[in-house]
Amino acid sequence: MHDFIVNGLLAAGIALLVSIAMGPFMIPFLTRLKVGQSIRDDGPERHLSKAGTPTMGGIIIITAIMVASFVMAGSSQQVLVSVSVMLAVGALGFVDDYIKVVLKRSLGLRARDKLFWQSVIGLLLGFILVYYLGRGTEIIIPFSGSRIDLGYFYIPFVMLVLISCTNGVNLTDGLDGLASGVTLSVVLAFALISIMMGHFNMLVFCGALMGACLGFLVFNHYPARVFMGDTGSLAIGGAITAIAAINRAEIALIIIGGVYVIEVLSDIIQVASFKTTGKRVFLMAPLHHHFELKGWSERKVVWFFSLLSLGFALLGLLGYKNIG
């Protein structure tokens, strides 16, 4: 096990160095392509100054993860599947970003088209997990230690997890450094769960994901020089889904990724309330914007949500204690 922990740390280091090395080249390249972020005019006024900041920086994250994963665990089927899912969902995000910033269609991919392709990728992931990796169809219930066999329902269940997680990370990616800061705690928890489950190659993949996010933060912390865009947020969501599913931790993801869940719920509540009553529950959704409009600084919101994510990660780990 010691060797795998070292490999995980090395993967994190490689991804960190790759992402930091790519930044000074990729950011000017994206700037020359004029792939600047458009800003909602109904949001906080101080966000208007971010207009034109290059997006699609998720390319940095994806490349760093791929390099580190293949160098340290390239022969692992679990890692290969995880990278493939990340690439597939990241490609979907890239198309969405391209439509928004290059073709100047602010809404990007139509919601139904995005949902369709997320569903296809999720179903393929479920099928591969069951019939290629031999993962089975059981899921672990945190705190109880019991397992439930979903049988034929497992594959559509994975599809729902992928759709939920990718959109959760996407909604969280609304402030400088927020998505990466929250994700670090989530992936650290899953790295420890990978050790508990004996999936040591997934520890390498977790290390690569953490290193890539940490390296991206060098350029994405406030004031951000580049945004990850849907390219990065969807890729991260896909990677986390693969990690959780391989570790039978799909239910634990609800706890560990608690910030993602809160962000999604705040958006759903806001829309439902406005459509049914004409009133808004929050000043603005997702929830991080509500705190901004309450007067919190962007840095304060990011730190608060990052610490909240750490708390959720610790709670999720408690629920997974002694499960193997």
- Answer yes or no: is 230 a known binding residue: yes
Cβ-based neighbour number of residue 144 at 10 Å: 10
Q: What residues pair up with 149 in beta bridges, in sequence order?
A: 138
Q: Are 179 and 173 in contact (CB under 8 A)?
A: yes
On whether 167 is known to bind a ligand per the annotation, the reply is: no
Question: What SS3 string covers the chain?
Answer: CHHHHHHHHHHHHHHHHHHHHHHHHHHHHHHHCCCECCCCCCCCHHHHHHCCCECCCHHHHHHHHHHHHHHHHCCCHHHHHHHHHHHHHHHHHHHHHHHHHCCCCCCCCCHHHHHHHHHHHHHHHHHHHHHCCCCCCEEECCCCCCEEECHHHHHHHHHHHHHHHHHHHHHHCCCCCHHHHHHHHHHHHHHHHHHHHCCHHHHHHHHHHHHHHHHHHHHHCCCCCCCCHHHHHHHHHHHHHHHHHHCCCHHHHHHHCHHHHHHHHHHHHHHHHHHHHCCCCCCCCCHHHHHHHCCCCHHHHHHHHHHHHHHHHHHHHHHHCCCC
Measured between its terminal Cα atoms, the distance across the chain in Å is: 15
Between the CA of residue 101 and those of 42, 107, 136, what are the distances in Å?
Answer: 19, 10, 41
Residues making up the binding site = 170, 230
Residues making up the binding site for Mg(2+) = 170, 230
